[in-house]
A and B are shown apart, each in its own frame.
Chain A
Amino acid sequence: MLVLTRKRGESIHIAGNIKVTVLDIMGDNIKIGIEAPRNIDIFRSEILQAIQKENRQAATMNTALEDLAKLIKPNKNDHQT
């Protein structure tokens, strides 16, 4: 990992089209501003980790679709009434 020390208001440029700015520092909280092309996805690491965990759990189960079908069947009947 490349480590750079920056002060409040200072920035880092990445690959010429991404700019990361330290906007504010309040104790343990750092406010970061990111300017990037709109085709660059930016999200918090926690959400990506949560999705990875969900996917790993979901992939390990081979659910019996018959059981799931039972869940939905009453709904279909309800529609007709």
Chain B
Amino acid sequence: MEYTEINLSRITFEQGLPGFEQLKYFKVARPYKEYPFYYLNALEAEEVSFLVISPFDFNKSYEIDLPISVQETLEIINTSDVLVFNIVNCLEGLSKATVNLVAPVVINVVKSKGMQVVLDESKFNIKEPLISFLQQSEGK
């Protein structure tokens, strides 16, 4: 994917994010070209910054089924217009970092609209250990 060709500098989250419902505008930045890690930064509050990963960079078995409500809200026509990110929680240090697979951040890059989607909690882990998730890219 060519992230340089799309504008991720001002994405509208009409509903905010759970816990940050008042924040409506975010940007996605990739600080290192060589590493597929991203920041999701709130434009209205500098201190609100999420470390996110694009799950498909790492884990070929992670598959999500976007509900119709999400497709309508984000005006998704082509799945190729969609980027998916998962939020990393490093509260207890990087070695114990987890990634939230239940609630991916879904962005329609054409419309610059995004939302955090709640998937079936019986299928996905809200606290998936990050290291094991990353290492599944090796095809284990």
Contacts and interface: CB of A to CB of B under 8 A. Distances in A.
Chains A and B are bound partners: yes
Contact of A51 (B88, B118, B135): B118
Contact of B118 (A39, A47, A71): A47
Contact of A61 (B20, B51, B130): B51
Contact of B17 (A44, A50, A55, A62): A55
A67 B89 contact: no
Interface stretch (B3-11, B68-76, B106-114): B68-76
A65 interface: yes
A47 to B, nearest CB: 5
A24 to B, nearest CB: 21
A39 B100 contact: no
Main secondary structure of the interface of A (DSSP, over half): helix
A58 B50 contact: yes
A58 B90 contact: yes
Interface residues of B, number: 41
B94 A71 contact: yes
26 contacts: A38-B67, A38-B68, A41-B67, A43-B121, A51-B19, A51-B100, A51-B102, A51-B118, A52-B18, A53-B19, A54-B126, A55-B19, A55-B20, A55-B50, A57-B91, A58-B91, A59-B49, A62-B49, A63-B51, A67-B94, A68-B35, A69-B32, A69-B34, A71-B131, A71-B134, A75-B135
